Chains A and B, each alone.
Chain A
């Protein structure tokens, strides 16, 4: 029996800046995981992934496991958690942007 589908978000990297981006429910690309569309249906996830892969400014779009959180979707795997923040050795990447807002 195939494994039950777990919720996903669609993520990629921005073509120009390389920054991590997430597909939102209204077809925008956000830099914030919490604004991503949480996809809970497998068929829908495949269609949304096809949509995402057609966008020339989103590089390497894929489905990443996510879960529902108070502020919006949250990452499940540590790799995806790192992608929401940036590296651990310097305060670079998204973690610094967050301090500015």
Chain B
């Protein structure tokens, strides 16, 4: 993976020293909170409901074992022994003291990590397909481009005061595992008629209070043109984006108000200017970066033991069936380690679990680790013959749950258990749904089903693109949960449809159970997934299941 150059190192150290001085000035009273807030936000420090929260970037979801152990050290030394992996490939520490944060940033800098631009109206952590560099269906590893974008966007003087935050996601595969259509800019690698790789450029997607699937502004952008093109999009947005109204400041609104045609024209015009100015320097840099992302030397070994074990051990088989994905090398698999044990907090890992993941990555995974936006951990390169031992090592650690892609593999934002913006809790809803379906022993029968929960309309939990989305709101001083159905975050992205009136906290789990029961009743057979059934049937049968009394009233 990419290692910091002297330039990166010097920059991160300088920023850490600056922030330490800012904290001192805040404590001495030389800075007021109004003066300090933008400075702390630039460094990923939020003040939440019960404590400060530090958001650390895991650029494009890639992290090495050494860094993972440092996160464990930070969790033990300055926090409560755990960290929370988020839907934007960040890790959040929920309990740091303000006076400790400069020390944490310094510890992060020791391993080439930082919290810069994880908040504020800047270009945020660039997210990528968590199977990048390993997926069987990949055209090219998108991470060199993601790293190029990280270097370009970090402290870019033109883009430090954007109208609003700006999120870029990238995938090197035509299968979209990075929700590119719900980002300010989504980049999806495709091939042109000549077979050359390039990007489909999607602009103006986003969730939040105005959920919009992004618009394709370029069907095929040659790879070499990517950086000037992205800068052109940012440049036009920086000029046109509305600074008068926070709720209309994202590029999705700019696109809506300006129109695709005019916005595209402005982007292309700016792109023509910028392309000349770049003069190929970006390509020279990209070539250097690309060398850091080569595939590890994969080993060749007999796979017979794996197949025998798969046949013999039902627990291993169940895990292998849900948690493994196809690797570009037929003798390898991509392993998803679930951070969704039934009843636990989605995305949380203890320091002990982090250390185990680091050890296992070194022993069986060519020292590579990824964090997914679905709040799980990935070991991207594991040889088939190592899988039984890997699985045995996970057992008993709370990391062995065989539920990836199933109903208990829930995305949940921190909600009102931590977040100052939240209007209701998310975590206990996720815990109770997972526990309930575990009790029913139904989840493997139900099959692929994505539930996503947000504790406010800002939609960090991606509820709009959940097959079942749950949005927690405050209705007259009581927690209330709205359900959306049929959302999809992949290359066939769709915003879910609102099912009807919301449910109280103690009604939401039974409501989800009724939806699932309706699916099981109406599906053609077990091969028809929830999403396929929803697309065939529409809202009606699910609505009838959700609101049975309404049907009775109408019949009366």
B240 within 8 A of A: no
Q: A88-B417, A92-B80 are in contact. Are A16 and B97 (CB under 8 A)?
A: yes
- What A residues does B97 contact at CB under 8 A? 16-18
Q: Which of A13, A17, A19, A87 contacts B418 (CB under 8 A)? A: A87
Are B417 and A82 interface neighbours, CB within 8 A? Answer: yes
Q: Are B47 and A18 in contact (CB under 8 A)?
A: yes
- A36 adjacent to chain B (CB < 8 Å): no
7 contacts between A and B (CB under 8 A): A13-B47, A16-B97, A18-B51, A56-B32, A56-B33, A88-B417, A93-B50
Question: Is the beta-carbon distance between B49 and A82 smaller than 8 angstroms?
Answer: yes
- Against A, the Cβ 8 Å flags (1 = close, 0 = not) of B48-87 are 1111100000000000000000000000000010000000
Q: Are A82 and B416 in contact (CB under 8 A)?
A: yes
Chain B neighbourhood of A15, CB < 8 A: 26-27, 33, 98
Alpha-carbon distance A15/B27, docked complex (angstroms): 8
Query: How many A-B residue contacts, CB cutoff 8 Å?
Result: 73
Q: A82-B49, A88-B417 known; A59 and B33 CB under 8 Å?
A: yes
B246-276 contact mask (Cβ, 8 Å, vs A): 1 or 0: 0000000000000000000000000000000
Q: Are B479 and A18 in contact (CB under 8 A)?
A: no
- A1-42 contact mask (Cβ, 8 Å, vs B): 1 or 0: 000000000000101111110000000000000000000000
- Residues of B with C-beta under 8 A to A79: 49, 416, 474
From residue 69 to 112 of chain B, which have CB atoms closer than 8 A to chain A? 80, 94-99
- Seed contacts A16-B97, A18-B97; 20 additional CB < 8 Å A-B pairs: A13-B47, A15-B26, A18-B48, A19-B51, A59-B33, A59-B47, A60-B47, A78-B478, A79-B416, A79-B474, A82-B49, A82-B417, A83-B49, A87-B50, A88-B417, A88-B425, A89-B428, A90-B80, A90-B345, A92-B95
Instruction: Give which listed residue, A17, A20, A59, A89, contacts B431 with CB less than 8 A.
Output: A89
Q: Which 10 A-B pairs have the closest CB atoms?
A: A87-B417, A18-B51, A18-B52, A93-B50, A89-B345, A89-B427, A56-B29, A88-B428, A59-B33, A16-B98
Contact A88 B427 (CB under 8 A): yes
CA of A29 to CA of B258, assembled, Å: 51
Asked whether, in the complex, the Cβ of B27 is within 8 Å of the Cβ of A18, the reply is: no
Is B50 a contact partner of A86 (Cβ separation < 8 A)? Answer: yes
- Confirm or deny: B304 has a beta carbon within 8 angstroms of a beta carbon on chain A: no
Interface residues on A, range: 20 to 34
Q: Which residue of A lies closest to B33 (CB)?
A: A59
Contact call B51/A17, Cβ cutoff below 8 A: yes
- Which residue on A lies nearest to B431, using beta carbons? A89
Q: Which residues of B contact A (CB under 8 A)?
A: 26-27, 29, 32-33, 47-52, 80, 94-99, 345, 416-418, 425, 427-428, 431, 474, 477-479
B47 cross-chain contacts in A, Cβ below 8 A: 13, 18, 59-60
Which of A19, A83, A87: most chain B CB closer than 10 A? A87
**Closest chain B CB from A100 CB (angstroms):** 15
CA distance A18 to B54 in the complex (A): 12
* CB neighbours of A16 from chain B (8 A): 27, 97-99
Shortest CB-to-CB span from A95 to chain B, Å, is 10
Q: Is the beta-carbon distance between A89 and B417 smaller than 8 angstroms?
A: yes
Query: Interface SS of chain A: helix, strand, loop or mixed?
Result: loop
Q: Is A98 an interface residue (CB 8 A)?
A: no
- Enumerate chain B residues within 8 angstroms of A18, measured Cβ to Cβ: 47-48, 50-52, 95-98
Q: Which residues of A contact B (CB under 8 A)?
A: 13, 15-20, 56, 59-60, 76-79, 82-83, 86-90, 92-94
A13 to B186, CA, bound (A): 38
Closest Cβ neighbor of A84 among chain B residues: B50
Query: Contact at A19–B50, with CB atoms within 8 Å?
Result: yes
Q: Which residue of B lies closest to A15 (CB)?
A: B98
Contacts of B52 in A (CB 8 A): 18
Q: Which residue of A lies closest to B29 (CB)?
A: A56
Q: A88-B425, A89-B428 are in contact. Are A83 and B98 (CB under 8 A)?
A: no
Contacts of A93 in B (CB 8 A): 50-51
Residue of A nearest to B345 (CB): A89
Contact B479 A78 (CB under 8 A): yes
Residue numbers in A under 8 Å from B345 (CB-CB): 89-90
Q: Which residue of B lies closest to A77 (CB)?
A: B477
Which of chain B's residues has its CB closest to A76's CB?
B477
Residues of B within 8 A of A94 (CB): 50
Distance in angstroms between the alpha carbons of A60 and B46 in the assembled complex: 12
* Complex contact B477–A78 (CB within 8 A): yes
**A20 touching B428 in the complex, CB below 8 Å, given contacts A60-B33, A76-B477, A89-B345:** no
Interchain nearest-CB distance for B98 vs A (Å): 5
Q: When chains A and B are docked, how far (Å) is the Cα of A82 from the Cα of B425?
A: 10
